[in-house]
Structure 1
Amino acid sequence: MHAAGMSLRMLSSARGFLILALATAAFRLWLAWALPITGDEAYFYYWGKWPDWGFYDHPPMVGWWLAVLQRAADAEWFLRLPSVLLPLVLAGATVAVLRRESPDAAWTAGAVLLLAPAQLWNVAITTDTPLAYFSFFSGLAFLRAVRDDDPRFYLLAGLLLGAALLSKYFAVLLAAAYAAFALSRPDRARLRALALIALAAAPAVA
């Protein structure tokens, strides 16, 4: 019990989070180097060789990312860097958002994100990679917009939603969540917010 308590206290500290972030990043970088390329990754690799505005079964974002990465290097571990760094980015952003309210809870939440099996073991670069980045930060922008009633953040949420829709069609569920928020109590402010989000996201689906 004492050891468990020590471990929990370590996870809820900045030092513990930093140690865990470095350790998991090193492990994930090794995985990216050691694991053979998957079938899906091989498929998307050629999207990077011949990027386009869309493909018959997926939107184009991961192909665009791979096109940029392939200009710098072609090693599998390098092409997987967006996936390798994903947990660090999401955990760091979570800590930054929550620290004002509860520093201990912020570090713990960040540690949980780093240790989640789906985050720890998945280093494949797929359509889910840009989807995760854009959906997460769209959600953060939306929460900031709701908190501050700031139209700029509604526009940012919409831009990021558009990028998420260009990553994977599954992002339509996030769009539905924004619509549900506005239409559950359709006052003027919420309808304006929905209009701003739709306006910013529209170029991605035009």
Structure 2
Amino acid sequence: MPTAPEGNDRPYFLWLLYAVAALTVLRLGILAGSGLGLHGDEAQYWSWSRDLEWGYYTKPPLIAFIIAGAQSLCGDTTACIRAPSPLLHAGTALAIYGIAETLTGSRRAGFWSGLSFATLPAVSLSSLLISTDVPLLFLWAIALLAFVRSLKSAAPGWPLLLGLALGAGFLAKYAMAYFILGLVLFTLITPAHRSWLTSRKPLIALVIMLAVFAPNLIWNFESGWVTFTHVKDNTNLKGDLFHFGKMLEFVGSQAGVFGPVLFLALLWRLAVLRRDPAAQTEKLLLSFCLPVLLIISGQSFLSRANANWAATAYVAATVLVVSWLLRRNRLKLVATGIGINLAAAAVLGFFFLDLPGITVPLKNDPLRRLRAWDQIADQLRPVLAAHPDAVWLTEDRKTMASLLYALRDLERRPKMWDYDGHPDHHYELTERYLPQSGETVLLVAKWDTPFPILERFGDVQRLSPVEVATAPDHVRRLSLFLLSAPLKQPPS
């Protein structure tokens, strides 16, 4: 579907650079001005950065390395910890320019594709958080750029870059495996590029990828493949299957991820594929987005799927949809989509600043989970100080992570109660509590009456809880117990 190279004499890349730089500065400013704390998952990633390993129970290690690098430059504030996100998204948008320009021969298509991606609702949201999806999308875009360049060039640098991006992508998130599926699918269905698989290019990429990814594989081998086991368990295919409603919910959520205009345009393009068959370039882009969307939609039908699980599809989908619309002189639709996405981003940024007296006008405020952990920590400090010899115990992963960050100035760390004797997350694997006779335990619990824990101790004293309002109609409350005389070990 080559786009007419109109306007290629214009400085489209420079324009995109200015636009993305402005967005990035604005997002960094919002982070600097926000009073919101870390989400439980963010706090967990931060805690990993204090104990760097080549792997963790639920994720590979790149997110911890990124946070550790950011902290070494600017400290451990929430703004600094999250700063890599808008910077990496800016890099992804520029890489998408290169993908579109390479495939279509049009700098104009590169500009509008890069700008569209930079303003996607999912990008605006994740630019204000630190998550594994952010480096994954960046490395996916770099890998796709290297792959499309390697199709047109014999230079060994592109397969080398492809291998580096793939290996680093696997260190970000194992969803990078979908990229290899798309690569193999495209080369198999495209006779003109089938020889790529038998050339030395994939061998170079494979060797480099395995070399970069090897430390995590070795860590998993030594740890009993716990991360891969978690990924398998996360598919949750053991319960009731076939949830048509959940699949519809997932598909609908993608309009919020990709933006309503581009998502409807993507559905429109897929609907007319039979009447308007995909050209070779479109086949490539479809190979890197459609399998992901179909697999995750199938997962949502069989069990469940979070809205972000298909995020990698939208690197190629952005180029696919924008280029297709431009080819049909639908620039106004592209611009409208960007405008709607920017309006949504402005609203999100305004509420993310968490200005005094301003609350999210929703029944369930999604930002309340980020509020008031510092106040909780201030109430908990004197309790911890009053019981310096007690084992500090928690029983919820996100609560433990949030307290670790909020009380990061303390050397004292909590232990984690393991309910079933099988590690279900990182803290149960590394910080599992093993009762010892004669010790006293200070339990900080998310639940008011955690009987499975209380019944394991002979002496139970309920202390005054700590609580803070996180919204007009919501209070975060942690129950405190002083426990002694453990009766028996937790189940094993």
What secondary structure does 1:166 align onto?
Answer: helix
2:197 aligns to what? Answer: 190
Q: How big is each residue's C-alpha offset from its partner over 1:60-107, in whole Å with a ceiling of 9 and x where there is no partner?
A: 111111122222211111121210113322223333555573233332
- In the TM superposition, residue 196 of structure 1 has moved relative to its aligned partner by 2.4
1:160 aligns to what? Answer: 165
2:177 aligns to what? Answer: 172
Give the TM-score normalised by the residue count of structure 2.
0.36
2:113 aligns to what? Answer: 109
- In the TM superposition, residue 172 of structure 1 has moved relative to its aligned partner by 0.8
In structure 2, distance between residues paired with 1:15 and 1:181: 32
In structure 2, distance between residues paired with 1:128 and 1:165: 11
In structure 1, distance between residues paired with 2:13 and 2:164: 32
Which 10-residue stretch deviates more, 12-21 or 187-196? 12-21
What secondary structure does 1:54 align onto?
Answer: coil
Alignment of 1:29-178 (within 5 A): 29-33=28-32, 34=34, 35-72=36-73, 73-96=75-98, 98=100, 101-122=105-126, 123-178=128-183
User: Are the aligned partners of 1:60 and 1:167 in contact in 2 as well (CA < 8 Å)?
Assistant: yes
- In the TM superposition, residue 137 of structure 1 has moved relative to its aligned partner by 0.5
In structure 2, distance between residues paired with 1:199 and 1:15: 35
What secondary structure does 2:172 align onto?
Answer: coil
2:345 aligns to what? Answer: none
User: Are the aligned partners of 1:130 and 1:167 in contact in 2 as well (CA < 8 Å)?
Assistant: yes
- In the TM superposition, residue 26 of structure 1 has moved relative to its aligned partner by 3.3
- In the TM superposition, residue 16 of structure 1 has moved relative to its aligned partner by 5.9
- In the TM superposition, residue 173 of structure 1 has moved relative to its aligned partner by 0.7
In structure 1, distance between residues paired with 2:18 and 2:72: 32
- In the TM superposition, residue 37 of structure 1 has moved relative to its aligned partner by 1.2
Query: Which has a greater percent of strand?
Result: 2
2:208 aligns to what? Answer: 200
2:371 aligns to what? Answer: none
What secondary structure does 2:158 align onto?
Answer: helix
What secondary structure does 1:136 align onto?
Answer: helix
Query: Which has a greater percent of helix?
Result: 1
- In the TM superposition, residue 145 of structure 1 has moved relative to its aligned partner by 0.5
Q: How big is each residue's C-alpha offset from its partner over 1:18-49, in whole Å with a ceiling of 9 and x where there is no partner?
A: 56434422331133231421111000001111
- In the TM superposition, residue 174 of structure 1 has moved relative to its aligned partner by 0.8
Consecutive unaligned residues of structure 1, counting only runs of 5 or more, are 1-11
User: Are the aligned partners of 1:87 and 1:119 in contact in 2 as well (CA < 8 Å)?
Assistant: yes
In structure 2, distance between residues paired with 1:46 and 1:113: 30
What secondary structure does 2:135 align onto?
Answer: helix
> Residue 183 and residue 45 in structure 1: after superposition, are their counterparts in 2 closer, same or farther (change >3 A)?
same
In structure 1, distance between residues paired with 2:64 and 2:14: 37
2:20 aligns to what? Answer: 21
User: Are the aligned partners of 1:182 and 1:194 in contact in 2 as well (CA < 8 Å)?
Assistant: no
User: Would you say how many aligned residue pairs link Structure 1 and Structure 2?
Assistant: 195
Give the TM-score normalised by the residue count of structure 1.
0.81
In structure 2, distance between residues paired with 1:14 and 1:141: 18
User: Are the aligned partners of 1:28 and 1:121 in contact in 2 as well (CA < 8 Å)?
Assistant: no
Q: RMSD across aligned C-alpha pairs, in angstroms?
A: 2.6
In structure 2, distance between residues paired with 1:175 and 1:15: 32
Structure 1 runs (4+) deviating above 6 angstroms are none
- In the TM superposition, residue 58 of structure 1 has moved relative to its aligned partner by 0.8
> Which structure has the greater CA radius of gyration?
2
- In the TM superposition, residue 59 of structure 1 has moved relative to its aligned partner by 0.6
- In the TM superposition, residue 131 of structure 1 has moved relative to its aligned partner by 1.1
User: Are the aligned partners of 2:97 and 2:113 in contact in 1 as well (CA < 8 Å)?
Assistant: yes
1:3 aligns to what? Answer: none
Consecutive unaligned residues of structure 2, counting only runs of 5 or more, are 1-10, 218-492
In structure 2, distance between residues paired with 1:191 and 1:180: 14
- In the TM superposition, residue 50 of structure 1 has moved relative to its aligned partner by 0.5
